[in-house]
Amino acid sequence: MTETTLIRGASLAGGERADLLLRDGVIAEVGTGLSAAGATEVDAAGLVALPGLVDLHTHLREPGFEQSETVLTGSRAAASGGYTAVFAMANTSPVADTAGVVEQVQALGQQHGYVTVRPIGAVTVGLQGTQLSEIGAMAGSRARVTVFSDDGVCVSDPLLMRRALEYVATFDGVIAQHAQDPRLTEGAQMNEGELSGVLGLAGWPAVAEESIIARDVLLAEHVGARLHVCHVSTAGSVDVIRWAKARGIRVTAEATPHHLLLTEQLVAGHGDGHGHGADAAQHRAYDSRFKVNPPLRRAEDVAALRAAVADGTIDIIATDHAPHPVEAKECAWDEAANGMVGLESALSVVQAALVDSGAIGFADVARLMSSAPAAIGRLDGYDAPLAAGGPANVTLYDPAVSRAFGTADLHGKSVNSPYLGRTLPGRVVATFFEGRPTVVDGVLREPEEVSRG
Amino acid sequence: MRHLLSTRDLSRDEAVGILDVTEDMAEVNAREVKKLPTLRGKTVVNLFFEDSTRTRISFEAAAKRLSADVITFSAKGSSVSKGESLKDTAQTLAAIGADAVVIRHASSGAPAVLASSDWIDAAVVNAGDGTHEHPTQALLDAFTIRRRLHGDASRGRDLDGVRVTIVGDILHSRVARSNVWLLTTLGARVTLVAPGTLLPFGVGGWPVDVHHDLDAALAEGPEVVMMLRIQSERMHAAYFPTAREYAREWGLTDDRLARLAPGTLIMHPGPMNRGLEISATAADSPASTVLDQVANGVSTRMAVLYLALAGAEGAGA
């Protein structure tokens, strides 16, 4: 690896301008007026330099669901969104509940070379919620699994959850819980509220999330383990997590970009009041692009989540990138799959929801979308963002532009984005993964240029 | 009217317009030759993903009396039950040349998805979708109420000030939802009566009064009492303890029937569970409009098909 790149005049997250010299996969120097013979120069005037983004919650679908996404296509979607590392969820087929599966996924990621792929191991065999999977074997494998989750399925059995917390703590891992009481959400289709009653869709009540989080933080306190709460979606959940943190419980929490921007009103075909321009105002009712689990919630919940991100109650932003083939969404609402793709749009949505309003700055973005998720996942190289000597994982972002988000902006296999046709601010101009560009001038590089196979 | 998906979308004038066209159709249905040439050459497809003999034959009769060609597509035993998607079915119907699709589907919103898709360009009439709406049922109910209250002077009138009490499983009832929106748009005052388990979450935001106590609601002297069918499977999902307790608390029993003011209309969308939500005496009493509702259903569906397929050049909405 001998590529040398000199990034000139980027705005660091703190606001000051600097040059960054990337050489041999590390950030060799940060300063002003840098020069390097033979370096590829990148004019970064007006661009924000962020540490490479880390997504703690990605569905890459391989093995088993390659019609939706593969490690390669998901890695490309990630790189185009400014990511240099993703944690791949365990609900593949076979499920990532053995060392063999996680090593395969990790190796594919390494070979493709767009991002670091860190597999998440299943908590229970086959996500069945009855028997612990081979957590120790996965932790000790070449994939070095640190995050365990039955995502998509809640570990609802309280005794099993207790044991899982205790056992995972043995390996300094963390349980990432999909908080959803299964009985309270049987057949659930959207947020339970006045709108679900009018639309005749079975409700997914906030209490089904909040009661599991409340139980889990108390369990985590009791056994002294770490807990990570996936995709927090309600104001009540924020209150519970805030209380738990004040009590000293070792809990971290994530919010998704879509829960920070979109509301349940979209299910009814109404605008959500958060759009940019008139284009966001009208959709059709029962448009299954807006079907996701946990569901889009009320405007009050969105406001509470934003406040919780701003005050640190919510630690990270993770995409829950969930690709599905077209036919899984071209149907009646309750027949449609849950989930949205989000890697390519995440940074823009975070800008729209939080940065443009002044709630957070780009230094916070760097923490929420890079250093903090890396710390939760025990991923090395992200603890000192853009510091000389660290790995050259860098994203250059232009916050000044806006774009009509379309399928041309999507680089995975699936197009189930809720933002198609919406105007979003900002654009990823370049991504460097371990010193090598994966995105140049806003264009994703081709697999053969990036592959380390 | 391009599609009929929901009564929530109808304005007062549009709704009164449909009821007035229904009057015209009812006159046709009173003739010896119950047939109009209006929709000759048009193809109406009854697309029933869920069994519903009553609604299906009502739409069939309506389309035939307007001289349309009728194709009935029932899910059972068809490709639909073998996993064919709504999209493929819709595209097939488009290729056949359907001008209108009357759709009954177990999924709330399926007619709206069909109407806003580019799979088919036909008029879409919602014949009941999941627990969402059943707009033609509400229209025939409103027509039945208006007829009973205003007789031959019905044309042009709404239901201003009429008090309608709807009793039973509101939570799962598309009939109740369509009636709430339509009757309130027409000026009626609607009261819902049910145990808390059978009311939708957030019903407090609806433009209705809500009661748990049927006797108290009936004591207010509504002009119309509409009983909803109770599905026996609700009992097993802990919505209420036993059929006997339900009948005692929320059934229109003989005792409650005797206390109704003379002239109170008793409605039921059918099919009835005699002895559960309604006693046999109540169902068969002169106050019962059950058979009127069935007859008016055909006139209402004629009006809707007419307005959807020929309405641009015709009268009404």
d(CA A275, CA A423): 8
Residue B42 clears pLDDT 70, i.e. is over it: yes
**Which is catalytic among the residues A19, A320, A364, A409?**
A320
Order of strands, sheet of A147-148, starting from the edge strand that comes earlier in the sequence: A147-148, A174-177, A227-229, A251-255, A316-317
- Whether residue B6 is contained in a domain is answered as no
pLDDT attached to residue A400: 97
- Whether residue B316 is contained in a domain is answered as no
Residues of A with CB under 8 A from a CB of B: 189, 192-203, 205, 284-286, 288, 327, 330-335
Q: Do B76 and B221 reside in the same domain of the chain?
A: no
pLDDT attached to residue A272: 60
- Whether residue B2 is contained in a domain is answered as no
- Sequence-distant (6+) residues with CB within 8 A of B12 are B158, B185, B186, B187
- Whether residue B7 is contained in a domain is answered as no
Mean per-residue pLDDT for B235-259?
Answer: 93
- Whether residue B106 is contained in a domain is answered as yes
Q: Do B125 and B213 reside in the same domain of the chain?
A: no
CATH code of the domain containing B46: 3.40.50.1370
Please judge whether A201 and B108 are an interchain contact, meaning their C-beta atoms are less than 8 angstroms apart. Answer: yes
- Whether residue B74 is contained in a domain is answered as yes
Tell me the chain B residues in contact with residue A202 when contact means C-beta distances shorter than 8 Å. Answer: 131
pLDDT attached to residue B82: 59
The one-digit pLDDT tens for each residue of chain A (453 residues) are 468 999 999 999 878 999 999 999 999 999 999 999 899 999 999 999 999 999 999 999 999 999 999 999 999 999 999 999 999 999 999 999 999 999 999 999 999 999 999 999 999 999 999 999 999 999 999 999 999 999 999 999 999 999 999 999 999 999 999 999 999 999 999 999 999 999 999 999 999 999 999 999 999 999 999 999 999 999 999 999 999 999 999 999 999 999 999 999 999 998 764 444 434 434 689 999 999 999 999 999 999 999 999 999 999 999 999 999 999 999 999 999 999 999 999 999 999 999 999 999 999 999 999 999 999 999 999 999 999 999 999 999 999 999 999 999 999 999 999 999 999 999 999 999 999 999 999 999 999 999 987
- Whether residue B3 is contained in a domain is answered as no
Q: Do B71 and B177 reside in the same domain of the chain?
A: no
Q: Which residues pair with A430 in a beta bridge?
A: A396
Tell me the chain B residues in contact with residue A199 when contact means C-beta distances shorter than 8 Å. Answer: 108-109, 132
CA distance B7 to chain A (A): 12
pLDDT attached to residue B78: 64
Q: What residue of B is the nearest CA neighbor of A285?
A: B112
- Whether residue B269 is contained in a domain is answered as yes
Residue A327 carries which DSSP code?
Answer: G
Q: Which of B9, B88, B104, B113 to mutate to test the interface with A (most CBs of A within 10 A)?
A: B113
Q: Do B30 and B119 reside in the same domain of the chain?
A: yes
pLDDT attached to residue B222: 98
pLDDT attached to residue B80: 61
Q: Do B60 and B87 reside in the same domain of the chain?
A: yes
Please judge whether B202 and A197 are an interchain contact, meaning their C-beta atoms are less than 8 angstroms apart. Answer: yes
Tell me the chain B residues in contact with residue A192 when contact means C-beta distances shorter than 8 Å. Answer: 201-202
- What are the C-alpha distances in Å from A290 to residues A270, A293, A373, B148? 12, 10, 26, 44
d(CA A259, CA A222): 30
CA distance A150 to chain B (A): 28
Smallest Cβ–Cβ distance between A199 and the set B87, B110, B132 belongs to B132
pLDDT attached to residue B76: 67
Q: Do B305 and B272 reside in the same domain of the chain?
A: no
pLDDT attached to residue B312: 56
CA distance A304 to chain B (A): 21
Q: Do B252 and B300 reside in the same domain of the chain?
A: no
CA distance B132 to chain A (A): 4
pLDDT attached to residue B53: 87
Question: Complex ipTM, two decimals?
Answer: 0.93
pTM listed for this prediction: 0.94
Question: And the tokens for A375?
Answer: 């710390």
Tell me the chain A residues in contact with residue B201 when contact means C-beta distances shorter than 8 Å. Answer: 192-194, 196-197, 203, 205
Q: What is the rounded end-to-end Cα distance, in angstroms, of chain A?
A: 14
Helix, strand, coil in percent for chain A, rounding step 5: 35, 20, 45
Mean per-residue pLDDT for B216-242?
Answer: 91
Q: Is A97 a catalytic residue?
A: no
The domain A52-387+400-423 having CATH identifier 3.10.20.600: the answer here is: no
Q: Do B38 and B95 reside in the same domain of the chain?
A: yes
Q: What residue of B is the nearest CA neighbor of A268?
A: B109
Radius of gyration, alpha carbons of chain A: 21
pLDDT attached to residue A168: 96
Question: And the tokens for A86?
Answer: 């993703």
Q: Which residues pair with B224 in a beta bridge?
A: B164, B265
Q: Do B46 and B139 reside in the same domain of the chain?
A: no
Domain count of the fold of chain B: 2
CA distance B87 to chain A (A): 7
Beta-strand relationship, A316-317 and A443-444: unpaired
Q: Do B145 and B287 reside in the same domain of the chain?
A: yes
Q: Do B23 and B93 reside in the same domain of the chain?
A: yes
Please judge whether A333 and B108 are an interchain contact, meaning their C-beta atoms are less than 8 angstroms apart. Answer: yes
Tell me the chain A residues in contact with residue B202 when contact means C-beta distances shorter than 8 Å. Answer: 192-198
Tell me the chain A residues in contact with residue B109 when contact means C-beta distances shorter than 8 Å. Answer: 199-201, 285-286, 332-333
Q: Do B283 and B257 reside in the same domain of the chain?
A: yes
Mean pLDDT of chain B: 93
- Sequence-distant (6+) residues with CB within 8 A of B190 are B164, B165, B166, B179, B180, B183, B184, B207, B208, B209
Query: What residue numbers bound the domain in which B193 lies?
Result: 135-293
